[in-house]
Structures are given as structure tokens and as C-alpha cells.
Amino acid sequence: MKTPVAPPSRAEERRQTRVLLTIVVVAIGLAVATLAGFNLRSHTLFNSNSTVEKTSGGVVKARSHAPVPDTAPEPAIASEKAPTAKAPTPGLSKVQVAQIGDAATNPAPPPAAAELVVPPANDAIPAGPFGEVVRRGEQIFLNTRVNAPAFVGNSLNCVNCHLDAGRKADSAPMWGAWPMYPAYRSKTKHVDTFAERLRGCFTYSMNGTPPPFGDDVLVALEAYSYWMSKGAPAGKGLPGAGFAKLPEPEKEADGARGQAVFQAHCALCHGADGQGQRVGDTQVFPPLWGPQSYNWGAGMHNVDTAAAFIQANMPLGNGGSLGVQDSWDVARFINSHERPQDPRFTGDVTETREKFHNSKQSLYGLRVNGQLLGSKAH
């Protein structure tokens, strides 16, 4: 007489049911994904691998995803058919079943979100004394020569490099600068406050005299930058802050090729002679070299910095249209012209290069087209 087999306990029945249901759900999911071809590229922003969600505080979170394949990948157990309620699961160990069930019920967290700051709108500047100073800072930023003439020595304004009133990503926006200070800078070899950083812009990019600490001009620009960075996390490098890093060119940057790029894409606004465009006393488009441009101490005189700015932002309104090689070439062409002397000039071009320009990105102190750059600085 055979010994009767005891029926499974209720707990065991529930466990088996959960396992089978989990496997069915996973199998159905794989089948649906295969039929859909993993076509998840729609409804994205920036590129085909990111989706966007907006949060409070002026921060947009762009959630990055791994590239989606054009065809569905093979299932992890390619030879398996979708199990039925009556069929066992040959080839699946208890560990594998547990792993599949865990993946279905506890999916991996999504990749970390990249934060893009959306600065407050211009019309959101508050009324009252603080708002008045912010608005003054904005006007200085937009028309520095007119609103801070005592500290500007050329025809440039802050907005010439920091586009869209200091809002545009990849053009050193103010919302990406303010939260990063105080910070150590190799250029000054000490920890700079944001006020010191602004003073450096007047010294080099504006070829002028830095405002004294506490001066109304400096305070207004600080207030404007602070206002623009509302919602930005402090001390965190943000996408779009500063100038984007540009890959090295396939060929060494060449000024002759760059001249052709300049004439085709830049001369319309900046003039064939690189001196920009003026309407009466107003400088509409900035000069790129010569006595009214940034001096040899400005960061933009470095070929890599200029190339990155150009590729992301130029021609104006059509940034990203120039290729990497063209951007490097035209940057070299622009920065192979004389401009105002570096304020740190020691009296000797070679010595000044050794102390402050010992980089392949700086053409200062090098002989280009038969001329020692820096020797005839304006």
C-alpha cells in the first residue's frame, strides 16, 4: 500500500503561486518590449537618451538613460518558453527564480539626475531696495561701457561673453558662477571670492581698472549674479556652467583654415577686420582683436577656451553649427592677432610668457606669421 503524499501547505502553495506569477509577468514584459522594438526615444529633451521633469525651486532635472537599442536584446534565458501554470521551470534554479522575482518587484533605481538651473525671469525681480540693486546690476551687465565707464578700458560688455544677460548655458552663465565661490584659482594662486572674480573680469576681459571692494558697481553685479543663481545648489558643478569642454581637433588648429572659417561665418557681424560693428557710439558686435578687445591676460585669449565658446554659441543664434575642427581653427586665427598687453607684463615678452602663459593654448610670446605676439600689444 502506497503512502499517500501530503498536500502542500498553504504557505508553500502561496510561494509557488508568487513564483509562477512573477515569471509570467517577466515573460509578458519581455514579449511586449520585443514587439515594441524598445522604441522609447519619443518625448525626450536634449538628446535621445534623456527625459525631463521640472521640480520646484527653478531646477529642471534631466534624467539620463542608457542608449536604447534599435532591436530588443535577447532574453536572459533565450531557450525558455513562457511558463504556464501547470508547467515546471526547467533550467531555472531557485536562485535564478528569486533573482527574476526581485528584479520585477524591486527594479534598479534610475541614474542620477543632472540638474539644469532655470534662472528667475527678468520680471520676477522684486520691488524695493534689493530689487533696485539687482536691476542696476543687470543694466551694468548689459551695457558695461556706459554704466560703469570708470572701470572699462575697451568696447566690451559683460554680455559679450556671458550671453543672454548671463543666462545662457555653456557661455559661463551667472547661475553657474555664483554658487562656486569662494574657490581656489590657479590664475591668482589663492582662494578668490566672487567679488575678486568679478574684479578680474574688469582687469582682463574689460582691459580696465577693477572696482574697489564695496563699490556700488561691484555690489550691483554681485546682487544680480546672486539673483540669477536662485535655485542653484551651492558648490556643485552644474551642466552648462562655464564653457563646455571641446574635444581635441583631429588636426592641429590652423590659422589659415581658421581665416576661411572667419570670413564665411564670423565677418558678417564682427567685420572682415575683426573690429566688430558700431552704430554711432554704440558697439553692436564686439571687436575680437585690436585695442578695443580683451587683453592678453583674459581667459578668452586661450585657444581652447575660445574654441569651446565659439562651438557652443557662434554664429550668434546658431550655436553648435560649426564643427569641432572649424571651431579650433577659427579660435586660433582670432587669437593670433595683437591685442592689449597683459596687465601682468614684466617688461619682457619672453619672461611674461614663462611666468603667465606657459601653455600650448596661449599664443602670447610665440612667433606667428613672422610676428612675436605680445611685442606690439596695444
pLDDT tens readout for residues 326-359: 999 999 999 999 999 999 999 999 999 999 999 9
pLDDT at position 117: 79
Task: Report the half-sphere exposure of 54 (CA within 13 A, side-chain side).
Answer: 4
The Cα-based distances of 269 to 208, 272, 326, 329 in angstroms read 24, 9, 18, 18
Can the peptide bond before residue 182 be classed as cis, meaning omega within 30 degrees of 0? yes
The segment(s) of the chain belonging to CATH 1.10.760.10 are 122-228, 255-372
Which CATH number describes the domain made up of 122-228?
Answer: 1.10.760.10
pLDDT at position 231: 84
Q: Assess contact for 205 and 156: CB atoms under 8 A.
A: yes
Residues in the chain where the model's pLDDT stays below 70: 1-115
Q: How far apart are CA 286 and CA 278, in angstroms?
A: 9
pLDDT at position 9: 55
pLDDT at position 55: 42
Q: How far separated are the first and last CA of the chain, in Å rounded? A: 113
SS3 state at 10: helix
pLDDT at position 281: 86
pLDDT at position 62: 38
Topology of the domain comprising 255-372? Cytochrome Bc1 Complex; Chain D, domain 2 (1.10.760)
Q: How far apart are CA 140 and CA 168, in angstroms?
A: 17
- pTM for the full predicted model: 0.70
